[in-house]
Each structure stands twice: as structure tokens, then as C-alpha cells.
Amino acid sequence: MRKDFLSPFYKLLRSFSIKSRIFLSFLFLITLLLFSVNVLIINYQKNSLKKQYYEGLNHNLENFSLEVVDWLVFFDPLKLEEKVSSLKNLPGIVYVMVVDKNGRIVAHTNPSQLGQFIPVNDSTFKTWESLDNNGIKHFNRPVFKEDFSLGAVRVGVSEADINDFIEQSVRTLKNYMLFVSGGFLLAALVVSYFISITLTKPLNKLKKSIQKMQANEFEFCENENLILCKDFYQCKDYQCPSYGKTRCWLNEDSKKWCKSVLKIECEDCFVYKYSCGDELGYVIESFNKMVADLRSYMEQLDKATKEKIKLEKYSAVSEMAMVVAHEIKNPLNSIKAACSYLKTNFKGKILQEFLSIIDKETQRLNELITGFLTYARPVPLKLEKTQINNIIKEIINLVKPEFEEEGKQIELSLDPSIPEFYFDPYQLKQVVLNLLVNAGDATKKGDKISVATQREGGLVVISVKDTGEGIPEELLDKVFEPFFTTKVTGSGLGLACVEKIVREHGGKISVFSKKEEGTEFKVFLPIRHEL
């Protein structure tokens, strides 16, 4: 029943925005507080005035009962009348009268009552107060001379008149309270508005970030309180993985370093707490962590998907290469043998010319088939512990004369700090040779080819860089795909074989190129000290 009664109210509230609800809630609470304070203050003032009035009245009656002793003993009606008249001037007084010990009225605010008698009983000469049905409150005070009763003083007070008098007395206070409350209410409007903005601004940012996420735009939610740990701690440790990083708590290296060196979790760090600020800040940074995790998961998924497609393509190419090699290699050998026989046993310039063409093209097809087999056949690595710089020197000595003959410069820069480690020398020779051949094909007379090695932590980086024509940006993602080539001749398997060999060594290869400026291939190999 209660739920049905309140459901329209709930529906009405739901129709407002959170900002409006917060604003109205604060405004309602402050208005209710102001109203309650005003009512309490005014009621307290009314009760206080009423209490003071009756305390003053009782005090006057006590003094009056003492003053009329002599006037009753010696009976001085003028003095009695004067005192009665002075009391009549008090607010709310309906009547004032003095009676003697026989109950005769000797003084009264209404002269027509003089000389009349009131009933005399035990309560006539006692102190009492009573309220009649007409709202008149009667006060009775006895008059004594030592132990003898001389009479009594009685006063009637109208409760309605007293309340009217008090209402008039607090009217100024009400006006003042109304003015002050208006000022407070105006301030409350401004404060409530700014509080609602302050509370809902982060929520609006979070809402926009969620909408972007729904559109597959994984962007961080803005946080104005972010501070770098180097600024917070005035740190100058440039080796720290957190140095200069925004949101260092999202960086895995930073998290591991803080946990191992500082023995602290990111959630307990002052930088994290300061950057979050309040509860909404914690919600925003939790959302940003989720965005970072989603980015990482999406990148891993994309990488895994590409790797799967690549492996499927490699598998298909391998199967096709084996079939092609099997079906073509034997006929090629027969053609080559027949061509050799004809060249040896038959003379003639035209015949020799055509037989040379057949022999040359047969040789080219044979090389193509050999490339297929090299790519398709899983050749196991023959790991040897040797020096990579020596292998590169051998390759450079092999190709240098040809490059110099073509007018191309070749530069060599080898890192002497690279130790001996396990790799397959023969297959890595193929890798470097293939990259150098590609560089030679991409360059012309006067261009430069640079070969360098460098140690980076637990990796050896082999760089082959040229100043040739470069590779268009849209083709960079395809250079390691089987059968992809920009050359007029060639199988398109050279770089695919390079990528395969590097991958089997547990490394990776990357390419950087700019049109008309050149290309650089970088091979990253792990340093394996033990098998």
C-alpha cells in the first residue's frame, strides 16, 4: 500500500537528472533546516516571554500583598485604588481586586464591584492559580499581618490577550528571522547548485568515456587531480620506472618496482590517493584501470588473431610448397640435364643462345623451388655458442666487394660488449645476407648501407639500414608475408624466411621506413647463455 502511495513520487524523482535531484535535495534539506530553526527560535522566544511575564506578575503580586497590609489595617481606599489601577496597566490584566478578611471587596478595577462580597472559604486566604473555561487565569495571594489574615489580592489574566501581546512582541523577531532566512536560502541556492555541479561533473565525464568505449574508443576518463610521483615526492631518481609517468599505477614495471623496493601497493600509495581525491575519483581511476586492461586484452587478442592467420597462411604455403617442389623439381632436373646434353653435342649459334636461355630460366626456377623448400621444411636449429659479431663480419666480407663495385657505401658498427651466446650460425647468416641483399636491391649508386649490433639488456639488436627509396607506409605490414614482393623478379619468400628463422630463435624483427629516406630492419635476439 505504502509502495503504491509513494510510486508517483518515485517516478517524479526519476524524471529528474541526478544533478537536479542533488540540487533539490540539498535545497529541501537546507529549507527544512531553516524552517525548523526559525520555528524553534520563535517558539522558544514565545515561551521565554510568557514565562518572564508570569514570573514578573507573581513578583508584583507578592510585593502588592506586602504593601496593602497597612492600607487594610488603617483602611486607606485611595492607596488601594491607586495600586490596583497600576496593576491594571499590565498587559493581559482583566481585573484586579482586594478583599478584606470578611470577603468584602475594598478595591477593584471595576468601581461597581466595590462593597460586594465574595464567598469566604479555606482557599480564600491561600496562594493558588486556576484557569476557567473562558481562558481567564486567576491568581490569588493572601495578605497576612504576622499570623492574622487581613484579606487577599486576586488578579485575572486573559490567556488570549497575553498570547496576542507575545505575538506582537516577537513580530520584529519574525521579520528579522525572515530576512536572515532569505539570505541563507539564497546562499543555499548557490551552494546547492555548486555542490550538484561538483558531484555530477565527474559522473558526466565518466558517462562520456563509457559512451566512447561503446563506440570502441578506449580512452581514459579525464581526472583533473592527477599528479606525478616525481612532483609529489620531489624525486630525482631517473632510473625509477615510475619517473615522469602519468598514472604510474597502470604500469606493470612501476607496480613491481614499488612492491619490491618500497614494499607498498599502488592502492596504498599517497600519489594514488591524492590523484583519486574522493570516492568519485576512485571510481574514475578504477574505470581507467578497466580501460587499460581492455586495451591490453584487445591488443593481445588482435596479436593472437594475426598470429593465427599468419600460422594458417604459413601452413597453407608449406603444404603448397611441398607439392609444387615435388611436382616440379624432377621435371626441372630432366630439362636441365637434356639442355646440358644438347649444348655439349650440338653446335650452332642460335641453338646455343636458346639453350642458354633455357638453362638460365631452369636455374631460376630451381632457385625458386629451393626457396619454397627452405620456407616449407621445418629445419631444426643447430645451436652453437659463438660470437654474433664474427658471423656478421663474414657476411660483410662476402658482399662488400659487390657493393663497392656498384658504388654503394657499407658501414659496420659492432658492439664489443656482446658476449658469446647460443644461436644457429648458418641460419642467422641467411637472415643477415637476405637483409643485405634487400638493402642492395633498394639502393643505387652513392647510397649508404649501415650494419650495426648493440646489446640492450638481455637482447642483441642487429640493425640493417639503408638510404634507399624506402617502403610505402601502407605496405609495411605486409613485408613479412609469404609471396609479397615489390620487385619485378623474386619469389617474395626472402623476408618471410627471415621472420620465420628469427621467430624460431625466440626473437622478433621490425621494420621502419620512410619514402625516399630509406629503410631499417631491426632483429631482436635473446641472449641464451645455456641450452
Phi–psi pair at 123, nearest 5 degrees: -85, -10
Give yes or no for a contact between 515 and 475, defined as CB atoms under 8 angstroms apart: no
Comparing 281 with 399, which gets the higher pLDDT? 399
For position 453, what pLDDT does the model report? 93
Select the highest-mean-pLDDT range: 233-247, 317-331, 338-352, 441-455: 441-455
For position 522, what pLDDT does the model report? 93
Comparing 247 with 141, which gets the higher pLDDT? 141
User: Residue range 158-163: average pLDDT?
Assistant: 90
Antiparallel, parallel or unpaired: β 421-423 and 508-514? unpaired
Number of H helices, E strands in the chain: 12, 12
Phi–psi pair at 472, nearest 5 degrees: -55, 145
For position 377, what pLDDT does the model report? 62
Comparing 171 with 146, which gets the higher pLDDT? 171
For position 236, what pLDDT does the model report? 75
**82-97: string of b/e by CB count within 10 Å (b at 16+)?**
ebbeebeeeebbbbbb
Comparing 243 with 139, which gets the higher pLDDT? 139
The confidence band for 1, taking pLDDT boundaries of 50, 70 and 90, is: very low
CB neighbours of residue 269 within 10 Å: 19
**222-232: string of b/e by CB count within 10 Å (b at 16+)?**
ebeebebbbee
CA R_g for the chain: 54
- List the beta bridge partners of residue 422: 385
Select the highest-mean-pLDDT range: 39-48, 244-253, 310-319: 39-48
Structurally, at CATH architecture level, domain 19-168 sits in 2-Layer Sandwich (3.30)
36 Cβ partners below 8 Å, 6+ apart? none
Name the one residue in this structure whose C-alpha cell is 624525486: 235
For position 24, what pLDDT does the model report? 78
Phi–psi pair at 520, nearest 5 degrees: -135, 125
The tally of CA atoms less than 13 A away on the side-chain side of residue 398 is 13
Percent of the chain with pLDDT over 90: 13
For position 286, what pLDDT does the model report? 81
Name the one residue in this structure whose C-alpha cell is 617442389: 325
Select the highest-mean-pLDDT range: 143-147, 251-255, 371-375: 143-147
User: Residue range 415-432: average pLDDT?
Assistant: 89
Residue 253 pLDDT greater than 80, yes or no? no
The confidence band for 262, taking pLDDT boundaries of 50, 70 and 90, is: confident
Residue 492 pLDDT greater than 70, yes or no? no
Convert the pLDDT of each residue in 371-384 to its tens digit: 666 665 656 788 89
Q: Give the strand order in the sheet containing 409-413.
A: 409-413, 448-456, 459-466, 518-526, 508-514
Give yes or no for a contact between 430 and 494, defined as CB atoms under 8 angstroms apart: no
Which residue stretches of 259-278 are H helix?
Answer: 270-276
For position 283, what pLDDT does the model report? 80
Please give the single-letter amino acid code of residue 354: F
* pTM more than 0.75: no
Name the one residue in this structure whose C-alpha cell is 483602611: 75
CB neighbours of residue 435 within 10 Å: 28
**Where along the chain do its domains lie?**
19-168, 229-314, 381-526
Antiparallel, parallel or unpaired: β 384-386 and 421-423? antiparallel
Q: How far apart are CA 12 and CA 6, in angstroms?
A: 10
User: Residue range 349-377: average pLDDT?
Assistant: 72
For position 4, what pLDDT does the model report? 56
Q: What does CATH list as the number for 381-526?
A: 3.30.565.10
Select the highest-mean-pLDDT range: 73-87, 250-264, 472-486: 73-87
User: Residue range 230-247: average pLDDT?
Assistant: 75
CB neighbours of residue 487 within 10 Å: 11
Kindly state the helix (H) or strand (E) to which residue 151 belongs, with its residue range.
Answer: strand 148-158
Comparing 519 with 8, which gets the higher pLDDT? 519
Q: How far apart are CA 35 and CA 515, in angstroms?
A: 77
Burial of 502 (0-12, 13-18, 19+ CB in 10 A): buried
The confidence band for 156, taking pLDDT boundaries of 50, 70 and 90, is: very high
Q: 230: which 3 cell numbers? A: 616525481
For position 144, what pLDDT does the model report? 87
Of the listed ranges 275-289, 290-304, 443-457, the least confidently predicted one is 275-289
Q: How far apart are CA 56 and CA 206, in angstroms?
A: 67
How high does pLDDT run on average in the chain?
Answer: 81
Q: How far apart are CA 155 and CA 93, in angstroms?
A: 7
For position 137, what pLDDT does the model report? 92
Q: 126: which 3 cell numbers? A: 491561600
The confidence band for 526, taking pLDDT boundaries of 50, 70 and 90, is: very high
Name the one residue in this structure whose C-alpha cell is 619485378: 488
CB neighbours of residue 134 within 10 Å: 10
Comparing 509 with 184, which gets the higher pLDDT? 509
User: Residue range 495-506: average pLDDT?
Assistant: 85
Convert the pLDDT of each residue in 84-125 to its tens digit: 888 888 888 999 999 988 889 989 988 888 889 888 888 888
For position 344, what pLDDT does the model report? 78
CA proximity to 354, closest of 342, 372, 337, 366? 342
Please give the single-letter amino acid code of residue 305: T
Give yes or no for a contact between 460 and 527, defined as CB atoms under 8 angstroms apart: yes
For position 237, what pLDDT does the model report? 74
